[in-house]
Amino acid sequence: MTTSHHIPKAPSIWVPLFSLLLGGVAVHVAGKQPDILYFDFVFAVWVIYQVFWKGFFPSFSGQIVSIGVLCVIAGLFSTLVNLRDMYRGVAASKVLAVGILVYAVARKARLGLFAPSIFGACASILLLRDYQSLRYESFEGLTGLKDEIEITMGHSNSVASILILLIPLAIAGACLNRGKRRWIFILCSMLMCSGLLATMSRGAILAILGAALLSLPFLRKAGLKIRHGVVGLLAMSLTLALVPADLLETNAALFLYRWENPDDARVEIMHASWEAFLENPVLGVGPGELGDAINHHLIVPTIAGGHQYNAHNLVIDSLAEMGLPTGLALLFIVALVLRKAWLAVATDASAFNVAVWVALLAAVMHNMVEASFEGEQFQVVFWTVAAMAGNLNERSQ
């Protein structure tokens, strides 16, 4: 007599990620107000339920998780040694810890394309709604409106970093599906492109375009034909026709303004961050502490209020906050993720593998001019997409 063993279906990691759209609350601790995301609670309950009731266990093996855990421990040690702001340092270390845990869970969970596309479309709708509520108000300078665009998931630049991770996945979904699902993926792609325009993030727009251009050989291997390009241009033209004309004009004006006026302030911030690293090359200034250190080196210190500057560059930011050994270790695991995605697409240039490669490459490129890596929302999505790198297509659909 034959017996069959029921193998439980892996849970979808994207289910708790929708709670990122809800934002979080400020908790009062010793005069501080750290933000606790609703995602933290939802994800913790979800993991406990999957482990104790469903028999699902995260995968903590491999270099990425091991080195990531060491980076978290080293960051906490740097916080203790520097004694600048313990709560801020712990909060910054917690962001990386959550990201590594998400990666460990996502490696064994279902990583479909439908849920992230819907998630990105919902975020884009919120962005467009916020833009619509602000478009007729008066702002100082071209960047005034851009600086005000914000949803519960984060500021415009942070959400832009997340959207460029999700847009390629939605396009891949449109290529891999037929019928109604294909049209849903196309609609999500168009919504996310509109949302990206609403963020007015020049760096994110250039990053995803640059990543796509650099990946043209892989796209051709995946079956990209001239007719696909024509369809893509038609979809993009329809998207541009549907968004408000003043939004397109503002984006164009922002690109032209930056072309004519180089961002000297950002260069100065990067230089000040590098000086902070040279003063603390081994342990860094501590996770989350770079803002105060930057102000000591700026010619005209900024008045940032509760918001702290970062280095606007993932490499300098990691080295300045965590020191040379830990900073290089963190950059190494990001490089490992890119290597896994590249090996996957070089071995099998499927639509899925190309989308994951373009998404991760665009995110890393954007983080060279905008250190979104310090945000928990970005890290959650980044490490979830990172877990897709090298996965079999059959398990990922």
Mean pLDDT of 229-258: 84
- Report d(CA 134, CA 361) in Å as an integer: 32
- Report pLDDT digits (tens) over 57-98: 888 888 999 999 999 999 888 888 877 777 788 888 899 999
Quote the strand ranges of the chain, DSSP E: 24-26, 35-37, 150-151, 154-155
Contact at 8 Å (CB) between 323 and 284? yes
pLDDT of residue 111: 79
pLDDT attached to residue 395: 40
**Residue-level pLDDT at 34:** 57
Confidence (pLDDT) at 312: 84
Average pLDDT over residues 201-227: 88
Straight-line distance from the first to the last Cα atom of the chain, in angstroms, rounded to the nearest whole number: 34
In eight-state DSSP terms, residue 8 is P
The structural domains of the chain, with segments of one domain joined by +, span 59-392
- Give this prediction's pTM: 0.90
CA dihedral 112, 114, 119, 124 (to 10 degrees): 130
pLDDT above 70 covers a percentage of the chain that reads 89
pLDDT digits (tens, 9 = 90+) for 111-145: 789 999 999 999 999 999 999 888 877 777 667 78
Determine the average pLDDT of the residues in 14-23: 87
Is the pLDDT at 246 greater than 90? The verdict is no
Mean pLDDT of 255-279: 83
pLDDT (average), residues 6-34 = 72
Q: Judge whether residue 394 has pLDDT over 80.
A: no
